[in-house]
């Protein structure tokens, strides 16, 4: 996309030289060794390397590690079935809610992405979340955001999490200003008014917008400050400890917070 926020990762030859060649089994073993609950495929879209991603997912599942796809959701129906049969969760970029935006800025179409979202929510057991990068003057009008949130509520349900994240000038769209924090807050409120239970802000420091609230009692049950967990008030089944209401999601016993650490992982074995 012309506004790609991670183009330096997806296109960098320097990054290629830094990467280790690793078998699916080596990746699964590294995840297990580091105590990771899941392995995520992203930067670039895993449909680009679908066969490799599926092999890694199989190796991870054999070790009790789950597989997550971070994707634009742009894929034909037949490979879509095969690919998502291997995935446990997906975060799908819904880049805008107009076909014109997709055609002119992304070089694609809107409908295939909507089809993927409906397929994931209605026909699979893949935990699905949506991210929309808000670009000033391009996809952030009240009208478009209301239409998007209404469609999600009507076609996917109230419990699909929606993340509105901030744009910064990059790649081929350096003439557009960064997204104001107020735009993200406005979008989040539009989503909440549309009946969506889990609407978040991202790429900005916003503890309120990054936290999860119980749809029943409206208390904060997962308090997030960037990557830090400041409070966790759900039981092992995902029920609110304040009122007992069940939250949507995949839950287990809460361990220690991982925090903002970045750990370099060496996958290749020394010669």
**Start-to-end CA span in the chain (Å):** 39
What is the model's pLDDT at position 91? 98
Mean pLDDT of the chain: 90
Whether 191 and 136 map to the same domain: the answer is yes
- For the cut 70, the answer to whether the pLDDT of residue 20 exceeds it is no
What is the model's pLDDT at position 174? 82
Domain range for residue 237? Answer: 211-257
Q: How confident is the model at residue 261 (pLDDT cuts 50, 70, 90)?
A: low
Q: How confident is the model at residue 22 (pLDDT cuts 50, 70, 90)?
A: confident
Whether 16 and 122 map to the same domain: the answer is yes
The upper half-sphere exposure of residue 212, i.e. CA atoms within 13 Å in the direction of its Cβ, equals 20
What SS3 state is found at 230?
strand
pLDDT (tens digit, 9 = 90+) per residue, 49-97? 999 999 999 999 999 999 999 999 999 999 999 999 999 999 999 999 9
- Locate 104 and state its tokens: 């002119």
Long-range contacts of 93-96 (CB under 8 A, 24+ apart): 93/130, 93/131, 93/132, 93/133, 94/130, 94/131, 94/132, 94/148, 95/1, 95/132, 95/133, 95/139, 96/132, 96/138, 96/139, 96/144
Whether 108 and 126 map to the same domain: the answer is yes
Whether 177 and 253 map to the same domain: the answer is no
Q: Is residue 115 part of a domain?
A: yes
Q: Is residue 156 part of a domain?
A: yes
Whether 201 and 225 map to the same domain: the answer is no
Q: How confident is the model at residue 19 (pLDDT cuts 50, 70, 90)?
A: low
Whether 141 and 249 map to the same domain: the answer is no
Domain boundary among 166, 184, 207: 207
Whether 98 and 203 map to the same domain: the answer is yes
* Chain centre to alpha carbon of residue 268: 28
Average pLDDT of 204-233? 94
What does the alpha-carbon distance between residue 186 and residue 239 come to, in Å, rounded to a whole number?
Answer: 28
User: Do 59 and 51 contact (CB within 8 A), yes or no?
Assistant: no
What SS3 state is found at 231?
strand
Q: Is residue 231 part of a domain?
A: yes
Whether 228 and 245 map to the same domain: the answer is yes
The number of domains in the chain is 2
Whether 134 and 218 map to the same domain: the answer is no
What does the alpha-carbon distance between residue 19 and residue 151 come to, in Å, rounded to a whole number?
Answer: 40
Average pLDDT of 232-256? 92
What is the model's pLDDT at position 89? 99
Q: Is residue 96 part of a domain?
A: yes
pTM: 0.91
Q: Is residue 2 part of a domain?
A: no
pLDDT (tens digit, 9 = 90+) per residue, 164-190? 999 987 766 688 889 999 999 999 999
CATH number at residue 128: 3.20.20.70
Q: Is residue 158 part of a domain?
A: yes
Q: Is residue 179 part of a domain?
A: yes
């Amino acid at each position: 996309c012309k506004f790609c926020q991670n183009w330096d990762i997806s296109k960098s030859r320097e990054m290629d030289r830094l990467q280790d060649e690793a078998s699916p089994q080596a990746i699964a073993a590294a995840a297990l060794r580091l105590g990771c609950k899941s392995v995520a495929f992203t930067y670039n879209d895993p449909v680009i390397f679908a066969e490799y991603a599926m092999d890694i997912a199989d190796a991870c599942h054999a070790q009790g590690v789950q597989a997550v796809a971070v994707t634009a959701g742009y894929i034909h129906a037949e490979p879509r079935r095969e690919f998502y049969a291997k995935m446990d969760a997906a975060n799908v970029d819904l880049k805008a809610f107009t076909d014109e935006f997709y055609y002119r800025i992304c070089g694609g179409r809107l409908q295939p992405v909507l089809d993927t979202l409906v397929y994931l929510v209605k026909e699979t057991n893949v935990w699905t979340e949506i991210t929309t990068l808000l670009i000033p003057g391009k996809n952030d009008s009240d009208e478009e955001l209301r239409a998007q949130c209404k469609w999600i509520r009507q076609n996917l349900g109230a419990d699909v999490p929606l993340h509105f994240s901030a744009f910064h000038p990059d790649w081929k769209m350096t003439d557009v200003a960064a997204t104001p924090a107020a735009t993200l807050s406005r979008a989040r409120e539009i989503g909440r008014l549309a009946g969506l239970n889990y609407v978040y802000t991202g790429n900005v420091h916003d503890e309120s917008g990054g936290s999860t609230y119980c749809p029943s009692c409206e208390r904060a049950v997962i308090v997030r400050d960037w990557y830090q967990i400041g409070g966790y008030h759900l039981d092992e089944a995902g029920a609110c400890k304040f009122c007992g209401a069940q939250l949507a999601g995949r839950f287990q016993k809460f361990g220690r917070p991982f925090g903002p650490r970045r750990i370099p992982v060496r996958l290749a074995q020394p010669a």
